């Protein structure tokens, strides 16, 4: 079936230009072009669309208001901003209501890639088998309370390292866990850190925010789940994977936001294992028995027995929480990044390699090629095959 895409812009010349440049895609895309938010909402009432691509600044209802309404009424639609305005405050307004933010002028292929990737992710997380499994979960976990508090503080005018540290300090258990991690060998602090305000100042708000999210997410599981899965070991693996992913991003000079999101995706990449074990303990015990007795990889056994993998389940939950798409991508495709290839090394690839490196840390001296399950096609596509050994060497020297 053709993708149905609605373009919204109050500039007639922009709409005409898009029509001309995208005409060769008419066999793949069914496209409609309207001149404002009101016209877009009228159009959506008459016809269904897979994607909406809108400008930001428009008379009457602007793009932000339009996408908020689309998000409320048509939550499964992919929402993309295409705008020539780069004002940082305005861009930040769109973070929670848009899946992608593209700037004008935008190359045709960049637009096509953004639509293709966003739709592929949506379709992956909209499979019948995944919906069936999710429908069997009595109550989906909600975004952790302390993390929500910190995010609310960060959105305030007076946000600071001190104010975020004070929020953490009110929770004695969280304070202890954050300080334990901050003083661990992961971060190599030159001196002992003794309070959360100091931790935020030294590590940065984003890093501490990530620590809080990871600690809270792994904190509350029933005894049955703990009997099926070694939760503490999974957390240690996930945390180390996140650290490795962030360091690899640093070696490749990636933007700070992508580097931070790579760490979050790494830390959360196995969250789906806990979600499935918590809600389907009998089936997940069968998964673990299959892994042990038949020597299958975990995600393969999950697919055979439950019909979905922990990567899909985890990404679905993070999508409900409203985390950014590139984090969802990193979680959903960390076993097979070549299924979701873009133009360059992305969070999928970072988490994929970091996950394998952490699993096979003892094999580092023998070379990365011994990593079981490495996606060679992905690495070859971007000319990264030789760089993985360099990443390994750099990590060992850190």
Residue 97 lies in a domain: yes
Do both 336 and 232 map to the same domain?
Answer: yes
What is the number of helices (H) and of strands (E) in the chain? 22, 5
Which of 29-33, 218-222, 348-352 comes out lowest in average pLDDT?
A: 218-222
Is the pTM above the cut of 0.75? no
Do both 159 and 44 map to the same domain?
Answer: no
Structure tokens at 174: 């969280």
CA dist 272 to 85, 96, 165, 262, Å? Answer: 38, 23, 29, 17
Structure tokens at 239: 């945390």
Q: State how far the Cα of 32 lies from the Cα of 5, in Å rounded to an integer.
A: 6
Do both 76 and 201 map to the same domain?
Answer: no
Contact 79, 58 (CB under 8 A): no
Residue 226 lies in a domain: yes
Contact 330, 351 (CB under 8 A): yes
Q: Is the confidence at residue 46, as pLDDT, over 90?
A: yes
Which of 95, 124, 153 terminates a domain? The answer is 124
Predicted pLDDT at 342: 67
Domain of 370? 145-397
What CATH number does the domain containing 10 carry? 3.40.50.2300
Which of 124, 157, 175 terminates a domain? The answer is 124
Residue 35 lies in a domain: yes
Residue 174 lies in a domain: yes
What CATH number does the domain containing 149 carry? 1.10.3210.10
The predicted-structure confidence for 189-200, as pLDDT tens digits, reads as follows 778 888 889 888
Q: Is the confidence at residue 31, as pLDDT, over 90?
A: yes
Residue 134 lies in a domain: no
Residue 129 lies in a domain: no
Q: State how far the Cα of 295 lies from the Cα of 303, in Å rounded to an integer.
A: 14
Residue 180 lies in a domain: yes
Number of folded domains in the chain? 2
């Amino acid at each position: 079936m053709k993708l149905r895409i609605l373009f919204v812009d109050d500039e007639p010349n922009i709409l005409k230009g898009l029509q001309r440049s995208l005409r060769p895609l008419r066999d793949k895309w069914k496209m409609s072009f309207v001149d404002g938010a009101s016209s877009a909402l009228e159009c959506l009432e008459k016809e269904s669309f897979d994607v909406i691509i809108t400008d930001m600044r428009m008379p009457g209802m602007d793009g932000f208001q339009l996408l908020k309404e689309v998000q409320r009424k048509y939550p499964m639609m992919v929402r993309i901003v295409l705008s020539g305005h780069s004002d940082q405050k305005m861009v930040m307004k769109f973070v929670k209501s848009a899946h992608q933010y593209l700037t004008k002028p935008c190359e045709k292929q960049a637009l096509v890639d953004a639509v293709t990737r966003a739709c592929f992710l949506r379709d992956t997380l909209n499979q019948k088998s995944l919906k069936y499994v999710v429908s069997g979960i009595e109550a989906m976990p909600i975004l952790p309370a302390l993390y929500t508090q910190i995010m609310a503080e960060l959105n305030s005018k007076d946000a600071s390292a001190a104010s975020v540290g004070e929020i953490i300090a009110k929770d004695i258990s969280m304070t202890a866990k954050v300080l334990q991690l901050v003083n661990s060998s992961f971060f190599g602090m030159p001196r002992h850190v003794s309070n959360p305000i100091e931790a935020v100042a030294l590590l940065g708000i984003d890093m501490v925010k990530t620590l809080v999210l990871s600690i809270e997410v792994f904190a509350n599981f029933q005894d049955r789940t703990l009997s099926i899965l070694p939760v503490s070991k999974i957390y240690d693996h996930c945390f180390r994977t996140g650290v490795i992913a962030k360091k690899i991003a640093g070696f490749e000079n990636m933007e700070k936001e992508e580097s931070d999101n790579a760490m979050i995706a790494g830390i959360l990449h196995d969250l789906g294992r806990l979600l499935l074990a918590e809600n389907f303990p009998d089936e997940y015990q069968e998964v673990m028995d299959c892994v042990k007795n038949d020597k299958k990889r975990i995600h393969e056994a999950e697919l055979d027995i439950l019909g979905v993998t922990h990567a899909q389940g985890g990404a679905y939950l993070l999508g409900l929480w409203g985390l950014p798409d590139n984090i969802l991508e990193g979680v959903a495709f960390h076993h097979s990044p070549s299924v979701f290839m873009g133009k360059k090394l992305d969070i999928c690839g970072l988490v994929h390699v970091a996950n394998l490196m952490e699993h096979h840390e003892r094999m580092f001296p023998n070379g990365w090629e011994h990593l079981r399950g490495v996606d060679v096609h992905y690495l070859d596509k971007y000319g990264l095959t030789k760089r993985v050994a360099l990443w390994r060497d750099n990590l060992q020297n850190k």
